[in-house]
A and B are shown apart, each in its own frame.
Chain A
Amino acid sequence: MWSYEKKLQYPINIKNPNPAMAKIVMTQLGGPDGELGASIRYLSQRYTAPNAKTKGILNDIGTEELGHMEMIGTLVYQLTRNMTPEQIKKSGYDVYFVDHTAGIYPVDASGNPFSVMPLQSSGDPIADLHEDMAAEQKARKTYDNILRLADDPDVRDAIKFLRAREIVHYQRFGEALRSVTDQLDSKNFYAFNPSFDK
């Protein structure tokens, strides 16, 4: 169960609408390394996590990612206020606009709709936690690329915040992975699935 706090995790106030930038930022909502996928990945994996630390970290990072999804939605929403038909055509936002107008719909930067295919819930915590650490690095990579493309300080500020969160999450998943391997035979961690084998 969740309850809602009527605020963003970090404030976003975009002064200059920019649909071309919205199209790029959108990928962290609906793209392969985005916040929606991160949240579904961790909140799905948590059920069969083998110890309390790992259940806790998957639950709580999965919850934080929901707040990040809201931040990306907010960025796209504010970047697409008061667009003129000329701006829509010139920016390349027209191919999204024709289906979704100025609504928020999870797609990647090329317009492919959100998919769960890039994520796994394998039932094996060693496999899952390695995937989670990779996922945090992949999200960090996308934020680095957005920072290479974005000039607007209002966009950069929020993206830098989100980028820093990926690094903290990577650290915490690494600690959870260590808590799992500490419970296993150090001669061969991979001979055993601690969530399934008895």
Chain B
Amino acid sequence: MAETIDLLKRIKMYDFILNELVLYLDTHPDCQQGLAHFRKYNDLRNKAYEEYAKNYGPLMVSQTTANERWNWIDTPWPWEKEANI
């Protein structure tokens, strides 16, 4: 459980950095430093998403295995406390 939460926290951190960079790059599309940051954190984010889906379940519907059971509905929903411990 503690590992799930740590990984989810890391994912939220990467997504926050990326969201900030998306908004910044929308108005500064030629900033090379911003673009380098985006490439770095997008890569880290994609790896963390894969690790999370493999061990704890899908965060995006494209990560569901669709293997015997529809596991998209088996993990807590974001508004539930269990998803935010």
Residue numbers of A with Cβ under 8 A of B are 3-14, 52-53, 56-57, 60-61, 64, 70, 73-74, 77-78, 168-169, 172, 175-176, 179
Contacts and interface: CB of A to CB of B under 8 A. Distances in A.
Interface of B: 8-9, 11-12, 15-16, 19-20, 22-24, 26-29, 58-62, 72, 75, 77-79, 81, 83-85
A169 B72 CA distance: 32
Contacts of B72: 6
Contacts of B22: 60
Given A61-B23, A78-B79, A7 B11 contact: yes
Contacts, number: 78
A13 B81 contact: yes
6 contacts: A6-B60, A7-B11, A9-B19, A13-B81, A57-B26, A64-B19
B60 A179 contact: no
> Chain B binding site: helix, strand, loop or mixed by DSSP?
helix
Contacts of B28: 175
Given A6-B58, A70-B79, A74-B79, A13 B85 contact: yes
